[in-house]
Chains A and B, each alone.
Chain A
Amino acid sequence: MKRVLSGLLLIVMAATLIVSCGGKGPAKGVEFVMNNGAEPQTLDPSKIQGVPEHKIYMALFEGLVGYDPKTSLATPGVAESWTVSPDGTQVTFKLRKTTWSDGTKITAQTVVDSWLRTLDPATASEYAYMAGMVVKGANEFNAGEAGKEAVQIRALDDYTFQVDLLGPMPYAVDMMAHYTFAILPMHVINAKGEDWIKVENIVGNGPFKLAEWKPQESLTVVPNDKYWDAKTVKLSKITFLPIDDNLTAYNKFKAGEVDWAHGIPLSLVDEIKLRPDYQVAPQVATYYYLFNVTRKPFDDVRVRKALTMALDMQELVDKVTKGGQLATSSMVPAMEGYTPAKGPTFNVEEARKLLAEAGFPDGKGFPKTPILYNTSDGHKIIAEWVQESWKKNLGIEVTLLNKEWKTFLDTRSNAHDFDIARAGWVGDYLDPNTFLDMFIIGSGNNDGLYANPEYDALVKKAGTMKAGPERMATLQAAEALLIAKDQAVIPFYHYVEQDLIDTTKWDGWYANPLGVHDWKYIGPKK
């Protein structure tokens, strides 16, 4: 007994000792803490995918071009300028004289080697397809059909880099701010192999460099004094937290432990939207339902239109989602130079008429259809609202079917085993094409099995056209087919970026379309 008791005492004493040690004092300078929403899957730009990784990438690395903090369009990065050939199919970048955080020079050959590493099939990059969409020969090399010499990129001299595009792709340079086109410290990668990303080995060329990484706990970066624009950098330290629960993150924000929280807890939207530090910005992203157009009765466009027109999207965003989302009837969000096509809007009378024409007067005989969505409170309340609206407006009964994320994806995208399913799509770059090319026949993301050769022809034609109103008109015609004529999907709303950051305290943070925020501009308000 004595032994047990003394053992106990020891444990308690140890615990008390640890508790009484207290926290670390704050370091000098302006520190910034952000909740990043998840533990980064990797820091290796060739392998990353996802928003949390992107936020860290933006601190540690810089590509040929960066993102403008207000418009998300390309700004000079490692390249100080670039020229596009008259036919629009070749871009030549003029690189600035700059180095890695360890002082090694960055040359045009570094860019060539970096891109080739990402495209190398052995690297198994998940986002390599993005380079394949614009760079000539990239797909062939990545698929193992050709050697690396097939990739049409080259170093003309130490500071001139040239790339051939698959066509006159007006969005190509903007796309190159993406991490798929990252410039990598090949001298470290060649020396250290897979371990190059470890804290003791990693070097970067971004405004910050990695100081500490405690997996699942925090990741810390400090200014990189070798960065070419180091004078613009204002923060002395950024800590990224991997909290995946928005409520916990919100609590930390309220307690002043976090300066920027990305995302909000949906259950508290009424409280949060009144806060002055709540930031909403339209995102290039669409929330929609898609029909499996091969299944009865959804193979009938009248049924698809009736279901669409029986939903009042304005009511949805005003009374259900409430976070400032933008109700829509279009698949593509508005972008510079592009006016989205309009689909049919809320019209109960017309909806009933169409449903009756399709053989279901007053909803009679309509099969009890499940709405498939992935388990989440947010998707559930929307599905319930849809269920209620269709019952009220059309007299049809639908059921709700939720599945855990990976099971949901398997059901929807691999098995196509659904009638109506929820989906969301975030644009990878600022061009309507990122929302439209997934609906062509044979596309891996065409989960509803929409098939209209006319649509395919328009999307493919736009891919070969030069930038300008004509190309945009072609894409708009394609979108019109998708939503106005064929109604393959029901667009609900365009997402908004929801952030909590006090912009009266912090400068250089602007709500922008892609939700990317260059760290070098963020600093305390003077």
Chain B
Amino acid sequence: MSRFIVRRFLSVIPTLFIIVTLSFFLIRLAPGGPFSGEKKLPPEIMANIMRKYHMDEPLVKQYFRYMGDVLQFDLGPSYRYKDQTVNDLIGNAFPVSVMLGTMALGTALLLGTIVGITSALKQNKWQDYAAMSVAVLGISVPAFVVGPILMLIFALKLKWLPTSGWLSSRAGALTLIMPIITLMMPYFAYIARMSRGSLIEVMRSDYVRTARAKGLKESVVIRKHVLKGAMLPIVTYLGPAFSGIITGSVVVEQIFVIPGIGRIFVQSALNRDYTVIMGDVIVYSIILIAANFVVDILYGLLDPRISYK
């Protein structure tokens, strides 16, 4: 097991290296640059800027300079937000996205499993149909529809919640409610459907039949035998779901004006803020790789049939 972990961990390094190298050159292929605008800068001014950011050097030299900095955990200056480094920008934004993502995923997991279990136990009854209809809605209606509808109802019509903003705004923590609901919807729906399906499957399995045959009470069968087996797919889903919810919060962050990493990512791409794009790519890559890594290990711990030799 520990050898597997070490091996997996080492394989992360070349993966990251390739991602960073490819991104570095690819983003520079996009037309335009960080300093182009409606009013074109005079050549002398442009020369001053290029010199300041070492952009007058050959690209390969810039690449080695950048890689050298990255190895020292310095992601460089932002070309657009001149008072801030990429480390500052990501350092401010990343915790916001993680907080939002964790709360949304936590809520989705709790509600999703409750709804899923209820549906499975009341299979083909009205509770089941109702819950699964909500789940289908949750999966099929995208965030850019859910968000504005919530905003229209709860902020503009009922005036219960602030339209947008984050913790430091006047409304404080009330700003969290709509983004969490919007962001969790597809995950909640997916978890509900998955736990229902998995529960039904497990309930029909041989060992559950054996448990019932032993004369155990139904509640004990469900708690001790069914749930444990049925939760396995959900736990393994949490890894990709976590990375998905962090990297996929872009739309929700835009709608509700949340200062998270998704907003920065979109803006940096539009602004050709090369260093910020690179920083985001690195952070996103690490999240994705780490999430898969954790899932692989969890698999081994939860499912005795899987071993790492």
Contact = CB atoms under 8 A, between A and B. Distances in A.
Contact of B40 (A244, A407, A445): A445
A514 B37 CA distance: 19
Interface stretch (B5-13, B62-70, B254-262): B254-262
Contacts of A191: none
Contacts of A1: 227-228, 231
Given A1-B227, A215-B84, A409-B37, 18 more contacts: A4-B231, A4-B235, A8-B110, A11-B106, A12-B106, A15-B103, A21-B173, A26-B170, A139-B44, A241-B165, A248-B163, A251-B163, A254-B156, A255-B156, A257-B162, A257-B169, A405-B32, A406-B33
B168 interface: yes
A124 B173 contact: no
B107 A404 contact: no
A413 B40 contact: yes
A424 B37 CA distance: 11
Interface size class for chain A? 35 or more
B21 interface: no
Interface string B160-188: 00111110111111101100100000000
Nearest to A409: B36
B220 interface: no
Given A142-B48, A216-B92, A252 B259 contact: no
Interface of A: 1, 4, 8-9, 11-12, 14-15, 18-24, 26, 39, 41-44, 47, 49, 121-126, 128-129, 132, 139, 142-144, 197-198, 214-218, 241-245, 248, 251-252, 254-255, 257, 404-407, 409-411, 413-414, 423-425, 444-445
Q: Which 10 A-B pairs have the closest CB atoms?
A: A23-B172, A406-B32, A216-B259, A11-B106, A42-B82, A410-B31, A143-B44, A124-B52, A444-B40, A217-B259
Nearest to B266: A244
A253 to B, nearest CB: 9
B202 interface: no
29 contacts: A4-B231, A12-B110, A18-B103, A18-B176, A19-B177, A21-B172, A23-B173, A23-B174, A42-B82, A49-B37, A121-B44, A122-B48, A124-B51, A126-B49, A129-B41, A144-B48, A242-B257, A248-B257, A252-B163, A252-B164, A252-B165, A255-B163, A257-B165, A406-B272, A409-B32, A444-B40, A444-B41, A444-B43, A445-B40
A205 B24 CA distance: 42
Nearest to B176: A19
B81 A215 contact: yes
A216 B264 contact: yes
A11 B81 contact: no
Nearest to A423: B38
A19 B99 CA distance: 12
A252 B255 CA distance: 12
Nearest to B162: A257
Contacts of A11: 102-103, 106, 110
Q: Is the interface of A mostly helix, strand, loop or mixed?
A: mixed
A122 B50 CA distance: 11
B109 interface: yes
B196 interface: no
B170 A251 contact: no
Contacts of A125: 45, 48
Interface in B14-63: 30-33, 35-45, 47-49, 51-53
Contacts of A14: 103
Nearest to B106: A11
A198 B166 CA distance: 22
A255 B36 contact: no
A48 to B, nearest CB: 8
Interface in B126-166: 151, 155-156, 159, 162-166
Contacts of A407: 30-32
A252 B256 CA distance: 11
B89 interface: yes
A248 B255 contact: yes
A333 B25 CA distance: 44
B88 interface: yes
Contacts of B168: 214, 217-218
Contacts of B271: 406
Nearest to B80: A41
Nearest to A445: B40
Contact of B257 (A23, A44, A243, A413): A243
Select the residue from B37, B163, B173, B272 with max chain A CB neighbours within 10 A.
Answer: B163
Contacts of B106: 8, 11-12, 15
